[in-house]
Amino acid sequence: MPELPDVEVCRRYLTATALHQRIAHTRVAAPALLAGTTPQGLGRVLKGRAFTDTARHGKYLFGILDRDHCLVLHFGMTGELQYFRHRTALPAHTQCLLRFAGGFDLAYVAPRKLGRIALADSPAAFVQDQGLGPDALTLTEAQFAELASRRAQIKCLLMDQRRIAGIGNLYSDEILFQARVHPRCRAADLDAAQLRGLHRAIGHVLQAAIAAHADAQHLPGDFLLPQRRPGGRCPRCDSTLQTVQAAGRSAWFCPRCQPR
DNA sequence: AGGACGCCCTGTTCGC
DNA sequence: TGCGAACAGGGCGTCC
Residue ranges with strand state E in A90-238: 94-100, 104-109, 116-120
pLDDT tens digits, A107-162: 999 988 888 999 999 999 999 989 999 999 999 999 999 999 888 999 999 999 99
pLDDT tens digits, A16-73: 999 999 999 999 998 889 998 999 999 999 999 999 999 999 999 999 999 999 999 9
**Residues pairing with A82 in the sheet:** A107
| Average pLDDT over chain A, rounded to an integer | 92
The pLDDT of residue A1 is above 70? no
Is strand B within 7 Å of residue A184 (CB)?
no
pLDDT value of residue A23: 97
Is strand B within 7 Å of residue A152 (CB)?
yes
A249 catalytic residue (yes or no) = yes
CA of A119 to C1' of B6 (A): 28
**pTM of the complete model:** 0.95
Is strand B within 7 Å of residue A149 (CB)?
no
A146 catalytic residue (yes or no) = no
Q: Which position among A11, A56, A59, A163 bears the catalytic label?
A: A59
Q: How confident is the model over A198-225, as a mean pLDDT? A: 93
Q: Is A243 helix (H, G, I), strand (E, B) or coil?
A: strand
Break chain A down into helix, strand, coil percent, rounded to 5: 35, 25, 40
For residues A118 and A51, the answer to whether their CB atoms sit within 8 Å is: no
**Residues pairing with A84 in the sheet:** A105
Report the interhelical angle of A192-211 vs A4-18 (nearest 10°). Answer: 30
Which H or E run includes A71? strand A69-74
CA of A181 to C1' of C3 (A): 43
pLDDT tens digits, A62-90: 999 999 999 999 998 788 999 999 888 88
CA of A259 to C1' of C10 (A): 28
Residue A38's identity, in one-letter code, is T
Residue A56's identity, in one-letter code, is R
